Chain A
Amino acid sequence: MPQPALDFIAADARLTGDADQNALQLSASDDALSVPLAGVQAVHLWFARFTDGRAYSQAVQLRRRGFAGPIVACGDVLADQALMLARCGFSHAQLRADQSLAVAQRQLTHFAALPGWYQADPTPAAVAHPVAPWLAQTPAQTAV
């Protein structure tokens, strides 16, 4: 299975980026289904607390709407969320300042020996291939 990809952004980086980049900032209570996406280059989703999982659903909804640009996790984002973030369609995470980048990167590898997940994830790749790829594999091909 290709390892889930997630790029980590320094905690003190300015997320608004270049002046010409149209980055949309959503709060956890914003409706990701109705927000206009025309011309939007990136979406920043906000975790007020890492235990508040609304942004996961927002990211899934944005990907299902076909949004292909960067989706960035901001706020109280922990290294241990890395895998969930990547699988929900986030492309970037700005970790809380006290978090270890090495730990976060390691979180992406815990299931790397497996050929897939129990779910078909809403990453851009999964949208193109909606069936979990490992389902078609024979047991002999399944890495253990």
Chain B
Amino acid sequence: MYTYTDFDRAFVRARAAQFRDQLERHLSGALSDDDFRPLRLQMGWYVQRHAPMLRVAVPYGCLDARQLRALARVAREFDQPSAEVYAPALAQQLARGTPHLPTGVAHLSTRQNVQFNWIALDRAADVMDVLAEADLHGIQTSGNCIRSITSDALAGIAPDEVVDARPYCELLRQWSTLNPEFSALPRKFKIALSAAAEDRAALAWHDIGLHLRRDAQGQVGAQVRVGGGMGRTPIIAPVLADFVPWTQWPAFIQAIVRVYNLWGRRDNAYKARIKILLRAEGERFAQAVQAEFARILLADPGATFSPAELARVQAQFAPPTPTESAQTATENVAPEWTVPERRAFDRWLAHNVHAHRDPQLAAVTLSLKRPGWAPGDASADLLDAAADLADRYSRSRLRITHSQDLLLPWVRRSDLPALWRAARSLRLAQPAAGVLHDFITCPGGDLCALANARTLPLAEALLQRYQDMDELEDLGPIALHVSGCMNSCGHHHSGHIGVLGVDKDGREWYQVALGGSDGRTLGGPAQPARVIGPAFAASEVPEVIEALLETYRTLRQPGEPFIASVRRLGLAPFAAAADAARHETRHPHAHLGAQPGAQAELAEAAF
């Protein structure tokens, strides 16, 4: 991972001190709520349903054991609501049917960041100081600015990369950090970058998606997509340029964001993302960007990355020191396998262990999908234990994945049996990749002020229901994405099965959609899922999921994954099976009407 320089460290501490100044003025009454809001947001502080929420940046998902322990400390010492805050919050959620609200935990987000839900605002500056000690911060994890950069969780270790993506991510992180021109954009702006053949970073769903490649001369550059996004209006980012050399990225991205800053709508937050501008302006936008790009290259020679700068950043990515093989080898000598153990281990190898560019090594997913826990949630103790695993098996390095899990990126293959046993004892060895079990959810209406509906009870019901590994392997890889509102933090648009919570007359309803893709090979080019019919009652959703899966089992061809069956068969047989599973909504309400296959945004318009 990137090792901070003295400059980076001083910068983060200066930013923490600046935030303390802002917070103290707010707490003293000198800075109003309205004036403080953009300041706290750009340091990662939301005000949520019951308490503030802090989002900590984990740039492109890379962190080390020391940083994970700092996050554990924040969970343990700060994510602890007072009784005055917690009791009414729990009472409020109990009334809706949620029996437990997690505290003392870190939540891993789909954008590879880490969130805390219960930190009192008057301790916010202290938390930022604790984080700064570990080279962590909340800079630009929220607000109308260029957000924390995301990437492939396997960046730098994947066999299918054309180049190590991480130094390029870091160049862009630095370029975007407190970039003064872009501190008050019309709306948030998300950049994702991947250098792998397979798109594991949902590039086409971002405001800018950079897919790295080499030209005929071997020069590194990127195909640049602009204007993707989820939310109310799911749009797949079109390609704006097939190849922009990496040296010119600051100029090109500056041109894009500048035109957006100047032209983007500011009268309606729902229409302020660049995707809406691009759709409205089309070719005129592209021409303006190209013209501005040309001007910047001429007039602003500072707006390029130099080979010296790249080399300087690459040098901060020195490969981590290998752990002593002897340290763990003793545990690997002739382990006594029982037959069930061997079977479970083999399954773990198939679902949690990923190829590494070094054939002696592997990347290992530590799954955070366990009954009793919200997906992506980890207690302070579990984070500490995962940090210990990283120290012991992965050269102290970890990643946070798009699927809300932890990943150990530098594991010796010879250590896999010992790691599996250790992970299993921590309940971190559940199957991850390639089965239904690994699904994405936002925190939903139990914690988030924006959400229209809860997601945690549904997640728990599904985690409880789908435990049988024989069944899960039979169902094969299925991306199930659940969002509690149309802000789409649970990426329901890109799910093979997407579930969207909506609110009508004070009740929770759930739209179910099929056939989305985030851009990974299995699901094909990125595309939004299509709604299968009127919304379902909360109590119906698990049975609807069951009916969809049963339909697949009945109609699939040999070896055909779920998403391929959906593409071949269309929505009709699935929609019919889902309708048959209704018991509360058997006679669809007129106000919940939506035709099978209608685009999600049309169905949402009914609300």
Q: Is the CB of A120 within 8 A of B261?
A: no
Q: Is the CB of A114 within 8 A of B7?
A: yes
Alpha-carbon gap, A36 to B306, bound state (A) = 34
Q: Is the CB of A53 within 8 A of B261?
A: yes
Contact residues in A for B38 (Cβ distance below 8 Å): 50-51
Secondary structure class of chain A's binding surface, majority of residues: loop
Q: Is the CB of A56 within 8 A of B178?
A: no
A92 at the B interface (CB under 8 A): no
B6 at the A interface (CB under 8 A): yes
A113 at the B interface (CB under 8 A): yes
Which of B5, B22, B177 contacts A80, CB < 8 Å? B22
Alpha-carbon gap, A67 to B408, bound state (A) = 52
Q: Is the CB of B183 within 8 A of A84?
A: yes
Q: Is the CB of A64 within 8 A of B300?
A: yes
Alpha-carbon gap, A143 to B21, bound state (A) = 21
Q: Is the CB of A64 within 8 A of B6?
A: no
Q: Is the CB of B181 within 8 A of A139?
A: no
A22 at the B interface (CB under 8 A): no
Contact residues in B for A56 (Cβ distance below 8 Å): 180-184, 261
B553 at the A interface (CB under 8 A): no
Distance of B209 from chain A, by nearest CB (Å): 22
B30 at the A interface (CB under 8 A): yes
B466 at the A interface (CB under 8 A): no
A120/B302 contact (C-beta < 8 A), A54-B262, A114-B10, A144-B6 known:
yes
Distance of B138 from chain A, by nearest CB (Å): 16
Q: Is the CB of B184 within 8 A of A52?
A: yes
| Binary contact track B158-182/A, C-beta < 8 Å → 1, others 0 | 0000000000000000110111111
Contact residues in B for A84 (Cβ distance below 8 Å): 180, 183-184
Alpha-carbon gap, A135 to B185, bound state (A) = 27
Residue of A nearest to B17 (CB): A110
Distance of A90 from chain B, by nearest CB (Å): 10
Alpha-carbon gap, A113 to B31, bound state (A) = 25
Those of A84-116 within 8 Å (CB) of chain B: 84-85, 87-88, 100, 103, 106-107, 110-111, 113-115
Chain A residues close to B by CB (< 8 Å): 33, 50-54, 56-58, 60-61, 64-65, 78, 80, 83-85, 87-88, 100, 103, 106-107, 110-111, 113-115, 117-122, 126, 130-132, 134-135, 139, 142-144
User: 22 A-B residue contacts at CB 8 Å?
Assistant: A50-B38, A51-B144, A53-B181, A53-B182, A54-B261, A56-B182, A64-B295, A64-B299, A65-B299, A84-B180, A84-B183, A100-B30, A103-B30, A110-B17, A111-B18, A114-B11, A118-B177, A126-B302, A130-B300, A130-B302, A139-B6, A142-B5
Knowing that A111-B18, A130-B302 are A-B contacts, what are 11 other residue pairs whose CB atoms are under 8 Å apart, sorted by A's residue number? Answer: A50-B184, A54-B262, A56-B261, A57-B262, A80-B22, A84-B183, A84-B184, A85-B180, A114-B7, A118-B174, A119-B179
